[in-house]
Amino acid sequence: MADLSVRLFDLELKNPVMPAAGPPVKDGRAAHAAKEGGAGAIVTKTISVRAARVPKPNMTRVKGGFINTELWSELPPERWLAEEYPKAVKTGLPVIVGLGYTSKEIRELAGRVEPFAAALELSTHYLGNDPTPVVESIRAAKDVVDIPVMVKLSPQVDIPRFASAAEEAGADGIVLINSLGPVLDIDLETGRPLLGSEQGYGWLSGDAIFPLALKSVFEAVQSVDIPVIGVGGISSGADALKMIMAGAVAVQVCTAAIINGPSVYGKIVREMEQFMDEHGYRSLSEIRGMAQKRRRDTASYARIIPELVEDKCTGCGLCITSCVYDAIHFSRDRKTVIIDEVRCAGCGLCVSRCNFAALYL
């Protein structure tokens, strides 16, 4: 079986899948549930100097994703220090403590949480074009602790610029991305915004943001020499492996754990192991950064006709329905689809629509 263990700083993780700072790790009990579910490390919900007051309702499932008005922990830091962190440490897994949000608040809290933490993850929240708050937060933490300090970045910033600034400020790792927004959904029956914030706005997470998260990790890995952890829309082993191929050392999961429960961590790990075994990979180091090495230096304009594996084709017709060039038809004689190479534009959509790996480029 493939070895999924990873080394993050001086931490040995049995696998690279961990919860992201959020509701699935809202307290010490939830940390134990994450361990039982198969997580390789614990990332605790971000705390600040005071408990958050979260608007209600604050979470909703939407088409292709999830919207929330979640903030930092609703528990005060004193509760975490007295009860929740000691419980989390008893999982026996490395505990990464989430802290936010200003440099002053982080400086006040970092030394107090250090006895329970294997590393810190700083959240500076949603920023404009100025990386100064990120730099100041990292320096504030590094001034008072002797453990690794990571910083989490939102997708709305210039990733290479902010990641480089974080590395120069002394960050030991980069985590990205935060959820995307603000966004809005409306209750069709009442005409009222679904969430309880002042405008009804929230932040988008889940499947919809995965391609953006993957691109952000890809960019960050090109920009820094410190470890990058990928988070955003990861719900399967395939998602996690793509993050590793982009260059991530490890991954974090939030929305999928909210929707499916903590067993999702183990599910993702098993799916990763299955892929690795089927493709002959022995360790994650063999695929880490693969996409960086195989990226194109220039755009490709050559038309590529999809290849068909006939014995895998079920005749479901999804590729036929989606082909705007009318280049795919069903052959009753062969009981499979046929591609008209003259009409085919080589767009590649049919390959992504096939659920049975019958088409490939």
DSSP sequence for 84-142 = IHHHHHTT-S-EEEEEES-HHHHHHHHHHHGGG-SEEEEE--S--S--HHHHHHHHHHH
By CB atoms closer than 10 A (0-12, 13-18, 19+), residue 183 is middle
Q: For 70, how many CA atoms within 13 A lie in the half-sphere containing its CB?
A: 25
Task: Identify the band that residue 127 occupies on the pLDDT scale cut at 50, 70 and 90.
Answer: low
36 forms bridges with which residues in the sheet?
none
In this prediction, residue 198 has a pLDDT band, given cuts at 50, 70 and 90, of: confident
pLDDT at 230 exceeding the cut of 80: yes
- Say whether pLDDT at 90 is over 90: yes
Which domains, ranges and CATH numbers included, belong to the chain?
6-293 (3.20.20.70), 307-360 (3.30.70.20)
Q: In whole angstroms, give the CA distance from residue 353 to residue 328.
A: 13
Average per-residue pLDDT for the chain: 95
Strands 336-339, 328-331: pairing is antiparallel
The answer to whether the CB of 120 falls within 8 A of the CB of 109 is no
Residue 290 is encoded by which pair of tokens? 């693969």
What does pTM read for this prediction?
Answer: 0.94
Alpha carbon 213 to its chain centroid, in Å, reads 6
Instruction: Look up residue 229 and give its amino acid.
Output: I
> What 8-state DSSP symbol labels residue 50?
S
Average pLDDT of the segment spanning 326-334 = 91
Give the Cα separation of 284 and 261 in Å (integer). Answer: 25
Mean pLDDT, to the nearest integer, of 125-140? 88
Phi then psi for residue 72, to 5 deg, are -85, -170
In angstroms, the CA 166 to CA 258 distance is: 30
Rounded percentage of the chain residues whose pLDDT exceeds 70? 99
Calculate mean pLDDT across residues 13-20.
98
pLDDT score for 126 = 62
3-class secondary-structure state, position 330: strand
How high is the pLDDT of residue 227? 98
pLDDT, tens only, 25-83:
999 999 999 999 999 999 999 999 999 999 999 999 998 899 999 889 999 999 999 99
Contact between residue 269 and residue 277 where contact means Cβ atoms under 8 Å apart? no
**pLDDT per residue over 174-196, tens digit each?**
999 999 989 999 999 999 999 98
**Residue 309 above 90 pLDDT?**
yes
CB proximity list for 184: less than 8 A, separation 6 or greater:
193, 199, 200, 201, 202
Distance between CA atoms of residues 280 and 290, nearest Å: 15
Would you say residue 147 has pLDDT above 90? Answer: yes
Reply yes or no on whether the pLDDT at 156 is more than 70. yes
